[in-house]
């Protein structure tokens, strides 16, 4: 009985090998269509076309042998891209959905003006985004994004800011669109920035254009 079972198992084993070999030969002989259509959604028309041309210049092959890493590297090198997803649409189409980065501020880098995106990347300011605040100084982009997060969590709106001044001590000054200059402490926290906001909302004294909050628990006004 045991020998009979062993023979049956061997027969099934050889059958599986034969079937697998036949299937592999058939798969090798199959010819899949080359990728004929790449669609990009999320960027402006011109930006879509630029990225599309770069992707089409890759050797895409067919959808089953597609190397997604090459496409992903190309997309991630684009400073306008915040997030993205690549979808394979069988039999021969790729669809790429992109979330465009949010433009936050402008900065001078080696004599050229760039826009800082919410993805932390710099984009040349070719379209002259004059409505964005300008950063004076040379902060690391990460430093700026951390600072903006504090502002966003505070009672202030980032849209109230006209210019930002960064100092080597990692301290920030803010010039608001109403021409008031806020001098902020080195270790800025949510409580401090909200205290400044509440003060500005409730103060009914003489005119001023500088609010100095660099000293702890003090706000000094200057004309």
Q: Are 50 and 83 in contact (CB under 8 A)?
A: no
The reply to whether 129 and 179 lie within a common domain is yes
In a domain, 136, yes or no: yes
The reply to whether 110 and 94 lie within a common domain is no
Q: What is the dihedral of CA 127, 131, 132, 137, to 10 degrees?
A: 90
In a domain, 17, yes or no: no
Give tens-digit pLDDT for 82-140: 999 999 888 888 999 999 999 999 999 999 999 999 999 999 998 777 889 999 999 99
In a domain, 8, yes or no: no
SS (H, E, C) the chain: CHHHHHHHHHHHHHHHHHHHHHHHHHHHHCCCCECCEEEEECCCHHHHHHHHHHHHCCCCCECCCCCHHHHHHHHHCCCCEEEEEEEEECCCEEEEEEEECCEEEEEEECCEEEEEECCCCEEECCCCCCCCCEEECCCCHHHHHHHHHHHHHCCCCHHHEEEEEECCCCCEEEEECCCCEEECCCCCCHHHHHHHHHHHHHCCCCCCCEEECCCCCCCEEEC
> What CATH number is attached to the domain comprising 50?
3.10.20
> What CATH number is attached to the domain comprising 180?
3.40.50.11690
In a domain, 159, yes or no: yes
Q: If 0-12 CB within 10 Å is exposed, 13-18 middle and 19+ buried, where does residue 139 land?
A: buried
Q: Are 126 and 97 in contact (CB under 8 A)?
A: no
In a domain, 9, yes or no: no
The reply to whether 171 and 117 lie within a common domain is yes
The reply to whether 160 and 208 lie within a common domain is yes
The two tokens of residue 140 are: 């690391």
Distances (CA, A) of 91 to 27, 28, 54, 69: 15, 17, 22, 20
The reply to whether 78 and 93 lie within a common domain is yes
The reply to whether 135 and 186 lie within a common domain is yes
The reply to whether 110 and 205 lie within a common domain is yes
The reply to whether 84 and 125 lie within a common domain is no
Q: Which domain covers residue 199, as residue numbers?
A: 103-222
Mark which of 50, 85, 100 sits at the end of a domain. Answer: 100
In a domain, 144, yes or no: yes
In a domain, 4, yes or no: no
| Residue with tokens 């608001």, as numbered in its chain | 176
The reply to whether 75 and 108 lie within a common domain is no
The reply to whether 95 and 108 lie within a common domain is no
Which parts of the chain sit beneath pLDDT 50? 2, 7, 10, 15, 22, 25-29
Terminal-to-terminal C-alpha distance of the chain = 105
**How many other β-carbons are positioned within 10 Å of the β-carbon of residue 126?**
8
pLDDT score recorded for residue 21: 52
**How many other β-carbons are positioned within 10 Å of the β-carbon of residue 78?**
19
Mark which of 100, 129, 146 sits at the end of a domain. Answer: 100
Bridging pattern class, strands 172-176 and 122-124:
unpaired
The reply to whether 141 and 155 lie within a common domain is yes
pLDDT score recorded for residue 179: 93
| Number of domains present in the structure of the chain | 2
Between CA 36 and CA 125 the distance in angstroms is 34
């Amino acid at each position: 009985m045991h020998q009979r079972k062993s023979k049956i198992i061997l027969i099934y084993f050889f059958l599986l090998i034969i079937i697998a070999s036949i299937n592999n030969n058939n798969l090798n002989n199959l010819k899949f269509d080359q990728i004929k259509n790449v669609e990009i959604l999320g960027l402006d028309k011109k930006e879509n076309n630029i990225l599309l041309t770069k992707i089409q210049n890759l050797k895409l092959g067919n959808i089953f042998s597609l190397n997604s890493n090459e496409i992903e590297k190309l997309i991630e090198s684009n400073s306008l891209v915040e997030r993205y997803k690549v979808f394979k649409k069988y039999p021969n189409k790729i669809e790429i959905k992109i979330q465009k980065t949010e433009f936050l501020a402008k900065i001078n880098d080696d004599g050229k003006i760039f826009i800082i995106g919410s993805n932390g990347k710099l984009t040349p300011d070719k379209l002259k985004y004059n409505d964005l605040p300008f950063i004076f100084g040379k902060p690391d982009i990460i430093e700026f994004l951390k600072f903006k997060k504090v502002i966003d969590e505070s009672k202030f709106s980032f849209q109230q800011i006209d210019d930002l001044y960064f100092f080597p001590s990692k301290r920030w000054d803010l010039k608001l669109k109403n021409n008031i200059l806020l001098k902020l402490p080195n270790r800025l926290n949510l409580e401090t920035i909200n205290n400044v906001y509440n003060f500005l909302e409730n103060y009914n004294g003489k005119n001023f254009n500088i609010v100095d909050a660099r000293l702890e628990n003090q706000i000094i006004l200057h004309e």
